[in-house]
């Protein structure tokens, strides 16, 4: 290891140890507080963090028998309900990056197997808590612990971590804190600066538990209660928007509860599933937002307040949802892949107005950078003693060129009855994420019952995409051949640029197009994809793997077989394919 690296590590180790031996804590970066003690804060002063010097974190949270065995780290953010699985996976990556860096610093004792072992051991010793649940990093990353249901989560103001680590590895704390900050930002939330640390003794007796700010003076003040009520209201709205696909649909759902007999609830059950709808109503009832009347569900006063709040602040809420979708960080998944496509995108040459170069002998007249040319000519004329400015060939500056591969993406969705609920919401989320992040044209074709229709024509407009997705109601059969043909026709009609066809289905075709054999017709339609030089990506589930493998082969496309059609797996797969096609 270089002297500077060794010196930096020893400095950090001595720095932290010096504070810990005094029963004090430190701030890492702008948002993170670290100590061996319990932390707390007053909602009226969220930037001031208290470290209770008489309350050992290991004893308080984990019932340890000795002091100073457990480090307590809190990373602060705006009130939010974070996904603990995603945060855990980011921390895992951060820990692994740390040990890989140690290996790269000429530490020969850190072999590949040693890095894996150290990463796993530390991951098993880090306990994480967010509003979504609690567990060690290893358990959460593998989803082997029970999480808090999304609709029951209450917003928190920090990510809470407990762990033990040897002093020689104290610099791993920087990687962990950085990973948590990235996880917060990537889920669409803001990190919060820690303005001040106050060391004091615990003033009031509190009950133990994984939390912060329990039993502090002022916690039950009217101001604090109003603050928490407002944050809870925002979290409820975001949960409803996630459950129904948009803020607009969340508002329509609440308004449907004010109509006689809830006559419009049936349309929500068709799209989101009767079971999901009942669970949503139960959750709202438990939160005292809805109550069961004699003949129907009705909104309580608080429920009406949330409904009115959505209508009065719909634009701001929608902007927050778009921000969250745009900043969503991809979570890597394991899946089986069958690759058949070698199709490359065709790139276009565009003028790069940010890059100015000397002109060459090729055609350049239309791309002259006039201000830069004048400046160059003026300077040369002055230096050469000319009485007035003249422009010569060597003065001419032109804009450079850059290559660009526009990709128009069509998502063909199986909208049969089996896709109702979480699956169709995941596909809708994929379409929104893709349009907001790629800024290129996206189209959606739905196939169900006996036909297929264009739900969203090729567009860059987010509102048009949402309006189209809102019309989808999964039901009926799977006319896969018709869905493929309709997709090909739309691509040809609109002359899509470097067309990418994403085919998503959880079942087998069961309605034919040309013959009486639905599977045979689907395979014939797949051949038309290859004939039209369209890059194909199929995403299916395990039960239909063998058929989808054959279809992808005939269509000369790539197949991904996932455990379930959720937004994480879909966004991961499609983003990978899109980047490969664009490069």
Question: Which CATH number covers residue 313?
Answer: 1.10.10
| CATH of residue 526 | 3.40.50.410
Domain edge (last residue) among 145, 170, 200: 200
pLDDT for the residue 360: 62
Q: Is residue 398 located within the same domain as residue 312?
A: no
Taking the C-alpha atoms of residue 170 and residue 128, their distance in angstroms, rounded to an integer, is 18
On the question of pLDDT at 259 being above 70, the answer is no
105 and 26 together in one domain: yes
Domain around 270: 222-326
Domain assignment present for 211: no
The pLDDT value recorded for residue 33 is: 92
What is the mean predicted confidence (pLDDT) over 99-105? 77
pTM of the model: 0.58
Q: Judge if 301 and 379 occupy the same domain.
A: no
pLDDT of residue 272: 63
Burial of 205 (0-12, 13-18, 19+ CB in 10 A): exposed
Choose from 21-35, 133-147, 522-536 the range with maximum mean pLDDT.
522-536
| CA-based end-to-end distance of the chain | 37
489 assigned to some structural domain: yes
In tens, the pLDDT along 56-81 reads 998 888 888 888 889 999 999 888 88
Query: If we measure between CA atoms, which residue out of 475, 415, 406 comes closest to residue 445?
Result: 415
Reply yes or no on whether the pLDDT at 317 is more than 90.
no
Which residues partner with 445 through β-bridges?
412, 454
Cβ 405 vs Cβ 346: under 8 Å: yes
Is 442 in the same domain as 309? no
Percent of the chain, pLDDT > 90? 25
**CA separation for the pair 484, 524 (Å, rounded):** 10
Residues 236 and 192 in one domain: no
- Residues 47 and 182 placed together within one structural domain of the fold: yes
Q: What is the mean pLDDT of the segment spanning 500-525? A: 93
Q: Which of 169, 200, 231 is the last residue of a domain?
A: 200
Q: Are residues 410 and 374 in the same domain?
A: no
Q: Is residue 475 located within the same domain as residue 434?
A: yes
pLDDT tens digit sequence for 191-239: 888 888 888 887 543 434 443 333 333 344 454 455 556 667 777 888 7
User: For residue range 435-481, what is the model confidence (pLDDT) as tens digits?
Assistant: 888 878 999 999 998 899 999 999 999 889 988 998 888 888 999 99
Residue 146: per-residue pLDDT = 87
Domain count, the chain: 4
pLDDT on residue 10: 54
Per-residue tokens: 431: 């379409």
445 and 376 in one domain?
Answer: no
Looking at residue 350, its pLDDT comes to 62
% of the chain surpassing 70 pLDDT: 84
Of 135, 161, 165, whose CA–CA distance to 147 is shortest? 135
Whole-angstrom Cα distance, residue 56 to residue 39?
Answer: 10
The per-residue pLDDT for 529 is: 95
| 347 assigned to some structural domain | no
> Coil, strand, or helix at residue 20?
helix
Does residue 213 belong to any structural domain of this protein?
Answer: no
Decide if 323 contacts 80 (C-beta within 8 A).
Answer: no
Residue 363 has pLDDT above 60, yes or no: no
Residue in 138, 196, 126 with CA at minimum distance from that of residue 162: 126
**The pLDDT value given to residue 342:** 79
In a domain, 485, yes or no: yes
Per-residue model confidence (pLDDT) at position 224: 47
Helix H or strand E encompassing 457: strand 451-459
Q: Is residue 193 part of a domain?
A: yes
Domain-located, residue 207: no
Q: In whole angstroms, give the CA distance from residue 124 to residue 37.
A: 21
Shared domain for 391 and 410, answered yes or no, is no
Domain match, 390 and 418 both: no
Of 200, 235, 261, which one is at a domain's C-terminal end? 200
DSSP 357: E
Q: Are residues 7 and 83 in the same domain?
A: yes
C-alpha dist (Å) from residue 236 to 150, 299, 576:
10, 14, 33
- Higher per-residue pLDDT: 435 or 13: 435
> Is 556 among the domain residues?
yes
């Amino acid at each position: 290891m270089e002297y500077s690296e060794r010196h930096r590590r020893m400095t950090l180790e001595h720095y932290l140890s010096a504070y810990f031996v005094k029963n004090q804590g430190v701030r890492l970066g702008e948002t993170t507080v670290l100590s061996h003690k319990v932390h707390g804060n007053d909602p009226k002063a969220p930037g001031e963090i208290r470290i209770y010097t008489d309350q050992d974190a290991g004893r308080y949270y984990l019932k340890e028998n000795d002091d100073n065995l457990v480090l307590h780290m809190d990373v602060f953010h705006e009130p939010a309900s974070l996904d603990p699985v995603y945060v855990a996976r980011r921390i895992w990556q951060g820990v692994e990056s740390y040990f890989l860096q140690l290996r790269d610093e000429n530490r020969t004792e850190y072999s590949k197997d040693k890095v894996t072992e150290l990463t796993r051991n530390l991951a098993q010793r880090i306990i994480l808590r967010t509003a979504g649940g609690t567990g060690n990093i290893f358990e959460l990353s593998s989803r082997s612990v029970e999480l808090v249901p999304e609709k029951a989560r209450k917003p928190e103001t920090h990510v809470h971590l407990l762990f033990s680590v040897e002093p020689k590895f104290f610099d791993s704390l920087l990687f962990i804190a950085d990973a948590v900050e990235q996880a917060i930002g990537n889920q669409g939330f803001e990190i919060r600066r820690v303005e001040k640390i106050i060391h004091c003794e615990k003033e009031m007796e509190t009950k133990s538990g994984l939390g912060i700010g329990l039993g502090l003076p002022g916690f039950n003040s009217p101001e604090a209660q109003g603050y928490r009520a407002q944050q809870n209201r925002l979290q409820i709205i975001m949960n409803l928007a996630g459950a129904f696909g948009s803020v607009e649909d969340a508002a329509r759902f609440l308004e449907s509860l004010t109509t006689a007999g809830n006559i419009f609830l049936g349309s929500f059950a068709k799209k989101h599933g009767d079971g999901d709808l009942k669970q949503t109503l139960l959750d709202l009832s438990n939160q005292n937002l809805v109550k069961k009347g004699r003949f129907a569900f009705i909104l309580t006063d608080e429920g009406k307040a949330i409904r009115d709040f959505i209508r009065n602040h719909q634009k701001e809420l929608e902007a927050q949802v778009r921000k969250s979708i745009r900043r969503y960080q991809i979570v890597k998944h394991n899946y089986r892949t069958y690759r058949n496509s070698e199709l490359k995108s065709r790139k276009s040459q565009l003028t790069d107005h940010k890059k100015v170069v000397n002109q060459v002998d090729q055609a350049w007249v239309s791309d002259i950078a006039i201000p830069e040319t004048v400046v160059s000519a003026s300077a040369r004329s002055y230096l050469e003693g000319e009485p007035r400015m003249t422009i010569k060939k060597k003065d001419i500056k032109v804009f450079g060129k850059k290559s660009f591969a526009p990709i128009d993406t069509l998502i063909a969705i199986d909208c049969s009855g089996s896709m109702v609920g979480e699956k169709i919401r995941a596909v809708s989320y994929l379409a929104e994420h893709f349009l907001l992040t790629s800024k290129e044209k996206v189209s959606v074709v739905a196939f169900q019952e006996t036909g297929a229709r264009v739900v969203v024509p090729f567009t860059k407009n987010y509102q048009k995409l949402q309006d189209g997705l809102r019309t989808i109601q999964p039901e009926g059969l799977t006319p896969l051949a018709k869905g493929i043909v309709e997709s090909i026709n739309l691509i040809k009609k609109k002359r899509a640029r470097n067309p990418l066809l994403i085919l998503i289905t959880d079942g087998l075709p069961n309605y034919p197009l040309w013959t009486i054999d639905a599977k045979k017709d689907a395979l014939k339609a797949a051949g038309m994809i290859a004939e039209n030089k369209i890059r194909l990506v199929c995403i299916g589930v395990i039960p239909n793997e063998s058929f989808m493998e054959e279809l992808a082969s005939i269509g000369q496309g790539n197949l991904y077989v996932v455990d379930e059609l959720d937004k994480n797996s879909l966004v991961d797969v499609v983003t990978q394919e899109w980047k490969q096609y664009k490069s």
